[in-house]
Structure 1
C-alpha cells in the first residue's frame, strides 16, 4: 500500500520563484543571473527597488530576459507530474529565503497577493518539520523582517494573521522569544497595535496564536507593564473570555493575563471587567481542562492581592466554594494558589460569609490535608494554613487549636 507522503510531489527548488515560492509560470532572469517569476519581480521593481532581492546586488539594468530553457524544463516537469498537490513538501533554499527576507523588509508593502503568498509559503515550510523552523529562526535577519511587517501601519488583517501564525510556529526555537521581546516591546511599538487588531478581528486560530505570542514576550516587569498599559488591550483580552466560548482560546488568554497581572492598576481593572465571575464559572465547571482550571486559580490568586479583588471574591460565595472544592485536586502550585485566595478573604478581610462557605465546602478537612500532605512546606504557606485553621475553627465553633511547629491538630 502506498504511503500518504509518497503521493506528495516535491517541486525542484530551481522551479520555484524566490519571492512567491510558487512554481514559475513565466521565468525571467535579471542581470545578476537570478531567475524570478515575471509578475513577482515586476512588482518588486515597480515598488522602486534597484536591487536583486536574492543577492541585494545593485542592478546595472532593470531589464530582464525570459529564461526560455528553464520555462521548457518546468513545462516538461509539469506534464510528467500532473497538477501540483497542495500537500507537496515545501522547501526553501538559502537564496530563496534571502530573497523572501529582503522582500518582507520592503516597507512599502502593505497588502498584495505576493506578500500574502510569500508569508503563506513560509508558514507551510515552518509547519512541515522542526528542522525547517530552526532554519527560519536561525536565518540572519528573518525574525526582524517578519516583525517589521507588524510594525507598519495599514497592513491588511490577512497579512497580520499570517505573520502571527509564523511567529507562533518559530517561538519555541532558541533565542526567538528574546528577539521578539526586544523587537516588539523595546523598538517597534506599533507591533502591539497590530497584535491587538488580530486579537480583536482575526480568526479563532490567529487569536490563539497571537495571545500565545503576546504572553511569551512578557519577560520582565517593564515589558509586562508596557503590554498591559497598551490602550484597549486588556479590554480586548477580557472580551475574548466573556464573548467567546472556545476553551482553547480561554486557556491561552488566561495564561497571558497571568503574565500581565503585575501591577495593582491592572488587577483592579480586571476586577472591574468582572473577571472574578468568569473565574468562578470556570472553577465551578467540572468539565474544564486541568490546565485552564489551574491557570484560572493562579489568576485569581493574583487578583486577591489587591483590595478590590479581595472584596469582589468575598462578595461571590460561589467563588470561595469553588476554590475550596478545588484544593488538593490539582498540582501543588494550584493548591497553594487556592490556599492563598482563601487566606486573603478569610484572614485578611475576615469575611464571615467566606468562612461559612469554606466550612460548607468541607474546606477545613481540605486544609488539614494540605498541611499533612506536605503541600505547605514553605514558611508563608505554612503560616497561611495555620491562620486559616484558627479563624475557621473559631468561626465554626469546632474548638480546634493548631500548632504550627508540630503540624498537629488538637481539641481545645
Structure 2
C-alpha cells in the first residue's frame, strides 16, 4: 500500500461542523447551515435552540434533507474507493537500478505499446513516496524523459489512451521542477492539453489541470502564451460548477480555480474571464463552497472586480452580490477581506446602485458594523468605514447590533 493511502483529504464541505466527520445524512437548518442528522439531532435534543455554527436562534427546528450534498458525498466516496483499489493493484517494488534501466529502455524503444507497461511501473514507483518522485525526476533530467513524453503528447493530441498513460508521469515531472523549458513550445502541446481537459477521464482532467497550474505558475512565457487561448478559461470554469454530476469533483474544482487565479494575475486576462462566464459560475459555487475553496473563489472574484467589465457583470448578478455578503465574517479572515474589497469596489469606487441595493437587502450593513468591532486589518477597517458612509449608517448602532449577532464558532466541540 502506498503511504498516501493512509491519509485521505476530506473536503471541508463534506464534514459535519459538529462531529467533523464525513456526513452520512446531511440535513439543513433554517439558517442554511448543513449538519449530519445524528449530530444536530443530539444538539437539539440537549435543549439547545440555536444553530451551532452561527448561534442564531432557530425559528423552526425542522431538518431538511440536503439530497444534492448527499449525492456529492457519495460520488466522492466512490472515487476515493476506486483510487485506493487502483493504487493497491498498481503498486510495485523496484530498486533504483531497475528504475534506471526502465527509463533507459523507454528512450531506446519509442513505440508506446512497448513502453506502456514501463510507464505504469514508473508512475507506480513514483507515487510510493516523495523520495521516489525526486529520484525519478533526477534520472529523468539526465535522460530528457520529459522531452520524450512531451513529444508523445504533441504527436498524439487526440489519442486519449496514449494520454492516459503519459499525462500522470508528465505532470509529476513538471511538479518536481524538471525544467519546464524542456516542454518546448507550449502551443505545440496545447491541443493535447485541451483534448485531455475536455474529453479525458476524471483522473486525466485532474492531472492535466494540475499540470496547467504548475506550468503557468513557474513559467511566465508559457503563462502568457496559454492566456491567448480563451477556450481554456471556459473549460476550467466548467470544472468549477458544483453539480451532482459524476464529472464534478472537489479536487478538480479547487485546482481549476487556482489555475484561473494564476491567469487572472495578468490584468489582460480578466476581461476574457468575464466573457467566459466566471462571475455567474462563482456566484453559483459560493453558497456551497468549503472554507478553502471560498477563499479562492473570492480571491478570483476580487481580481475580476478590478476591471470595469467585471464590476458591471457582478453588479448585474444579484445572487452573486448576496453570496459575497453572506461570506463576510462567516468563513475566514482571508475570505472576509476579499469579500469586503469586492463590496467596496462595487459600492464605493464604482457607486453601483444595484450592488448597493443587493448589499442592503442581504443585511450587509449589519455585518459591516460588526466588522468594525472585529480584529480586522486597518485596510479592511477603512473600507468598512467607507461603506458605512455610502449607506449613511450611524456607527452608534454597532452596540445594539453586536449583542444580537455572533459569528464566532470556537465553542463548537465534536461529540
Task: Give the TM-score normalised by structure 2.
Answer: 0.65
Contact 1:107 1:149 in 2 (8 A): no
Which of structures 1 and 2 has the larger relative contact order (alpha carbons within 8 angstroms, sep 6+)? 2
Post-superposition Cα deviations, 1:213-258, rounded to whole Å, max 9, x if no partner, equal 2112223644432222246322332333459433332221111101
| Cα displacement string for residues 93-151 of structure 1 (whole angstroms, at most 9, x for unaligned residues) | 34433333234446954x32x22211111111122233322221222526841353223
- The structure number with the bigger radius of gyration is 1
Q: Secondary structure at the match of 1:141?
A: helix
Structure 1 position 272, deviation (Å): 1.3
Mapping 1:270-349, distance limit 5 Å: 270-285=273-288, 288-349=289-350
Q: CA RMSD in A?
A: 3.1
> What is the 5 A alignment of 1:3-402?
87=89, 90-105=92-107, 108-109=110-111, 111-112=112-113, 114-141=114-141, 144-152=144-152, 153-155=154-156, 156-169=159-172, 176-177=176-177, 179-184=178-183, 189-219=187-217, 221-230=220-229, 232-241=231-240, 244-285=247-288, 288-378=289-379, 381-392=380-391, 394=392, 398-400=393-395
Aligned to 2:412: none
Unmatched tracts of structure 1, length 5 or more: 6-84, 403-408
Q: Could you give the per-residue CA deviations for residues 332-388 of structure 1, whole angstroms, max 9, x where no partner exists?
A: 22211111111111112211221122122222232233333232234xx34322221
8 Å CA contact 1:237–1:253 kept in 2: the answer is yes
Q: 1:257 to 1:239 in 2, by over 3 A?
A: same
**Does the Cα contact within 8 Å between 1:225 and 1:262 map onto a contact in 2?**
no
Native 8 Å contact 1:136 1:142 kept in 2: no
Instruction: Determine the C-alpha separation between the residues in 2 that align with 1:369 and 1:221.
Output: 41
Once the two structures are TM-superposed, the CA of residue 86 in structure 1 deviates from its matched residue by 7.0
Q: 1:305: how far off?
A: 0.8
Give unmatched runs, 5+ long, in structure 2. Answer: 3-86, 403-415
CA 99–255 in structure 1, closer or farther in 2 if over 3 Å, else same: same
Output the CA distance in 2 between the equivalents of 1:346 and 1:143. Answer: 57
CA separation of 1:188 and 1:260: change in aligned 2, threshold 3 A: closer
Q: Take 2:90 and 2:314, find their aligned partners in 1: how far apart are those partners?
A: 54
More helix by percentage: 2
Q: Name the SS for the 1:119 alignment partner.
A: helix
Structure 1 residues 388 and 222, CA gap change in structure 2 (3 angstroms): farther
Aligned residue for 1:29? none
Q: TM-score, normalised by structure 1?
A: 0.66
CA–CA distance in structure 2, aligned partners of residues 334 and 250 of structure 1: 18
Q: How many residues align?
A: 306
